[in-house]
Structure 1
Amino acid sequence: MGILKLKDGTELYYKDLGQGQPLVFHHGWPLSSDDWDLQMMYFLNKGFRVIAHDRRGHGRSTQTSEGNDMDTYASDVFELAEALDLKNAIHIGHSTGGGEVIRYAAKYGAKRIAKAILISAVTPIMLKTESNPNGVPMEVFDEIRLQTATNRAQYFRDFTIPFFGYNREGAKVSQAVMDNWWRQGMMGSIKAHYDCIKAFSESDFTQDLKDVVIPVLIMHGQDDQIVPYETTAEIAITYLKNGKLILYPGFSHGMPTTEAEILNNDILSFINS
């Protein structure tokens, strides 16, 4: 475990375990590096070096009031990769973290990144606009903002239900998984969480996807109730020069947790391909 002091004074908490080729994990909103426990253990036991950080304002990193935007997130990753001298790294991002990965890869990663994996990612853009007419309406994100600002503790509890698909018939509901999600969320800064909603919903990653030449794997559940695959994964793959798409029937947004064994094996196959 470590703390990296960034150029603006923000302290970034990170985990760095093992030896071998580095895998860097980027978590989703409003979570922390703890959300990658099942992947960290799996790949550590496969002989990889596994690294995960708490995004600024999230988890154990500084609760920043400024810089809670995608460009700054990517710059923070650049500073971390430089400080750890990462080479031939594979960056794996879930949801908001997928946007962070592709922005980092496009702007900074040419010399240090070998492959990227986007899981349930917000790329290329979530928000409904004139150029993205099938996106999610602004009213949805305004409601997330309102609930985060005024009712965060209860809202985060409620959010776990669609996040993990626990509202589907036959779902195996785990209270411990829901509690762990809530624990991670409540560790972070309410201001950073509020600002991050704009970052994950309005950031446009179209050019980032077009600019990267490394192999990119997109993984998305077809029952994702948080980030619809039809307007993200199926569009993002069309912009990639060297992309692969895997869609998972019935899988939820939280599939790295609920379907960890399947995803871990598919990630390993992509790494070894």
Structure 2
Amino acid sequence: MNSITTKDGTRIFFKDWGPKDATPIVFHHGWPLSADDWDNQMMFFLLKGYRVIAHDRRGHGRSTQTWVGNDMDTYTADVIELTDALDLKGAIHVGHSTGGGEVARYAARAKPGRVAKAVLISAVPPIMVKSQKNPGGLPLEVFDGFRSALAASRAQFYVDVPSGPFYGFNRPGAKVSQGVIDNWWRQGMMGGAKAHYDCIKAFSETDFTEDLKAIQVPTLVMHGEDDQIVPIADSAPLSAKLLKHSTLKTYPGFPHGMPTTNADQINADLLAFIRG
């Protein structure tokens, strides 16, 4: 398996497909998933001639099941080590959900020339949790509920999330895919319970405001208007306003997991942005 070992001894698994001299696209997955969540996009862009890369965040998938370092700064440091090891230059970084936060922080801190463009899909920035500064956010009790459900029965929780709000399968008339639900569960259960528990705080309480302001490259912000996990009103439009060079695309009726449920549309729009 392809992997790097970080300075703190964590093994980070990654996929790296395509010609080494092609434009690299790096995909950052959501919680509690793995690089496998990008299979559709990786095949699509590989067949278009791109070099496609995706890693399993620490504590997720095939990477080390860390019990420490499960925070956005460390996730970003891991990405810096990975992109240094692969010597990626002029890359497009695409992040979904928690991965969107990782992309925002990485793009704000990356060495000059490493990042050409960024994409935030159904992403958690600027910040999810409700506070005086963020009155439109979700109450802390929502995320406490996630932690309680995970600690009580992670296996059942990881059935309930994809069966319902993640893909919008709880909506009337939704075309439910048991394979998609099972694949979400499979990916989630590959990771570590402690790392996933900690990551809830990382994705919900990290403030990406200053990261978004610092990003210098063109950034596409994509969000479903029926996102039940990261509600659009407190995320994508606010991020787009903070970014220096943003394009905002919203999708009526699309759910949080739209890269899977609506892959054809998402892939086409990604390709247009990358080529543009």
Deviations 1:16-63 (A, max 9, x none): 000210000000000000000000000000000000000000000000
Give distance in 2, aligned partners of 1:162 and 1:239: 28
Q: CA deviation at 1:69?
A: 0.2
TM-score, normalised via structure 1 length: 0.99
Question: Which SS does the other structure have where 1:173 is aligned?
Answer: coil
Pair 1:245–1:109, CA change in 2 (3 A)? farther
Give distance in 1, aligned partners of 2:111 and 2:134: 27
Question: Which SS does the other structure have where 1:195 is aligned?
Answer: helix
Q: Provide structure 2 residue ranges, at least 5 long, that are not aligned to the other structure.
A: none
Alignment partner of 1:201 out of 200, 204, 220: 204
- Structure 2 counterpart of 1:144: 146
Question: Which SS does the other structure have where 1:158 is aligned?
Answer: helix
CA RMSD, 1 decimal:
0.6
Q: CA deviation at 1:111?
A: 2.5
Q: Provide structure 1 residue ranges, at least 5 long, that are not aligned to the other structure.
A: none
Give distance in 1, aligned partners of 2:109 and 2:220: 18
- Structure 2 counterpart of 1:51: 53
Give distance in 1, aligned partners of 2:236 and 2:221: 7
Give distance in 2, aligned partners of 1:118 and 1:134: 20
Alignment partner of 1:112 out of 111, 114, 120: 114
Structure 1 vs Structure 2: percent identity of aligned residues? 64
- Structure 1 counterpart of 2:66: 64
Deviations 1:151-207 (A, max 9, x none): 110011001111000011111000000000000000000000000000000000000
TM-score, normalised via structure 2 length: 0.98
Q: CA deviation at 1:108?
A: 2.0
Q: Does 1:18 align with 2:13?
A: no
- Structure 2 counterpart of 1:265: 268
Q: CA deviation at 1:109?
A: 4.3
Runs of 4+ in 1 over 6 A off after TM superposition: none
What are the within-5 Å matches in structure 2 for residues 1-273 of structure 1?
1-19=1-19, 20-160=22-162, 161-273=164-276
Give distance in 1, aligned partners of 2:185 and 2:71: 22
Question: Which SS does the other structure have where 1:78 is aligned?
Answer: helix
Pair 1:166–1:109, CA change in 2 (3 A)? farther
Q: CA deviation at 1:110?
A: 3.0
